[in-house]
Amino acid sequence: MRSLCLSLLLMPATLAAQSGGPLVALPHGFSVDPATLVPGLTAGKMLFSNSGFDSYQPPAPPPGFVTPDFATFLGGAAVDVDGLSIGYDWVVSDLLGVASVDPNRWAAITASVSPATTGEPGSLIAAEAGAPGGVAADTIAYVIPGSALPPAIVGVPFRAQDAIELNPAFGATAGNIDAHDIYIGLLYLENPQLAALLPPPTVYFSVSDATKTSIPMAWTSTPALRSGATVFSTTWLPGSMAWTLPVVAYTPTDFGVSSAEDIDAIAIDLASGFALFSTSILLPPPSGPRDPLLFHVLGSGTNSIYRLPGGTPISSELGLGLGSDDIDGICALDPGSAASPSPINLPLMLGTPQQALPLGTQNQLSASAWRVFDRVSNQEFATTWMTGWPPPGNPQVSLAISAASLGSPFGPYVILDVFTRPNPTNNFEGHPEKTELQIPPSISLSGQELFFVWGALSPNSFDTSLPVGLIL
């Protein structure tokens, strides 16, 4: 850890089998299905991950820090959380489910898939489904076409986080993440100082069809609403440090599905009144099979396929087919703009990729940037992660170099760290490396932008990442 001084004058396509893309090493809160064996995990519990590559069980928020306790929002009910959102998703779409990114903006989705998902032949998901640990505990990221980002990372599925990178138990047991929300991790685990500026959170969730009979009568006594297609909600009460009793937020009819179905992924955008969701129960024609990714105007009673302007389903872009392929966790994000800012100040916590530096490099290194509040030191840090190797892209003796620039993605950049690779203690694919800079309180929330870039040097080649900028 090092200080970022005010006087600082800072001198910039993922390969298969490694994590990458602009959301590499993302944090989140998530649930796993009952068949996924995690030491110490009991029914009805949530897990949490830091941004990064961790070879240990994702930690829960430390005791004594005054933040919502997302591990307890079920109140001890022995149900399996099947869909999860805290309402801060930003779904880019028109009223018909056609993805539409505003000019000079970018948007993305993250998704997890079910254990039965095989993916279309030749797709990233198909490759991961056949790899050790499978695909069901991976997180896939996809930048929506029309986004104002370098073309090489737009409209391309990336593995943002592998099962083993999240928790080694997932690799040993072919675990399944069956619900996830990046905002729980990004806000409440990584940046509680920013979360404190927001209203108390509300959790929207569904439960699995297999555990619907365990839905407490206090949540609903209506038989048709004791369903895997009902979305419940509960709100954190800071005064009592507890959650309200879950209530029905949306009925199956609200989403245009039947109570016999199972909504197993949800991303709710309260600001726009939109949602993305998926169902897991195969219906016979003409009702099914449903597309793995559906769009919904909240309360409309209808749904449609979430698709690109040309009509292509975004599920197809991810490499999913109909039938057994199923999204079982979904999040949507858009950092916004000055004219239409993110309601949670997302650009303060998530870096935005920039156009390539004019160096003639291939930019096959991936880089991301995250803001992290350290609860022990009570300090903020700008962190950056990279994965990848210089051409030809295979593990080789090389150096990884991180550099930063304050104010401009074109530099000047100052070298921060140099890493010798391969390091025998670094066993993750793509050999991820991390650099962090302390953000002095004097410039925190100043609006200044810090840019990171990574380079990788071998005896025969050199490559760089795209620069990535984080608003301080």
What are the extents of the domains in the chain? 28-333, 351-471
pLDDT digits (tens, 9 = 90+) for 350-362: 999 999 999 999 9
Determine the pLDDT at residue 4.
Answer: 34
CA dist 19 and 26 (Å) reads: 11
Determine the pLDDT at residue 34.
Answer: 78
Q: For residues 130 and 173, which has the higher predicted lDDT (pLDDT)?
A: 130
Check: CB of residue 30 under 8 Å from CB of residue 329: yes
Lowest mean pLDDT among 78-87, 286-295, 299-308: 286-295
The listed CATH number (3.40.605.10, 3.30.450.40, 2.40.50.140, 2.60.40.10) that belongs to domain 351-471: 2.60.40.10
CA dist 298 and 255 (Å) reads: 7
| 330 bridge partner residues | 111
Q: Is residue 246 predicted with pLDDT exceeding 70?
A: yes
Q: Is 405 helix (H, G, I), strand (E, B) or coil?
A: strand
Per-residue DSSP letters for 106-153? --EEEEEE-TT---STTSHHHHHHTSTT-STT-EEEEEPTT-SS-GGG
Query: According to the 3-state scheme, what is the secondary structure of 346-399?
Result: HHHCECEECCCCCCCCCCCEEEEEEEEEECCCCEEEEEEEEECCCCCCCCCCEE
pLDDT tier for residue 14 given thresholds of 50, 70 and 90: very low
Burial of 152 per CB tally in 10 Å (0-12, 13-18, 19+): middle
CA dist 296 and 181 (Å) reads: 18
Give the percent of the chain with pLDDT over 70. 90
- Max Cα-Cα span within the chain: 69
Q: Is residue 2 predicted with pLDDT exceeding 50?
A: no
pLDDT digits (tens, 9 = 90+) for 52-105: 887 555 555 555 556 888 888 999 898 999 999 999 999 999 999 999 999 999
pLDDT digits (tens, 9 = 90+) for 131-189: 888 899 899 999 999 999 999 999 999 999 998 888 766 766 678 888 999 999 999 98
Mean predicted confidence (pLDDT) in 299-309: 96
Q: Is 406 helix (H, G, I), strand (E, B) or coil?
A: strand
Give the percent of the chain with pLDDT over 90. 72
Determine the pLDDT at residue 355.
Answer: 96
Determine the pLDDT at residue 9.
Answer: 27
Mean predicted confidence (pLDDT) in 256-277: 96
Lowest mean pLDDT among 55-69, 182-196, 315-329, 332-346: 55-69
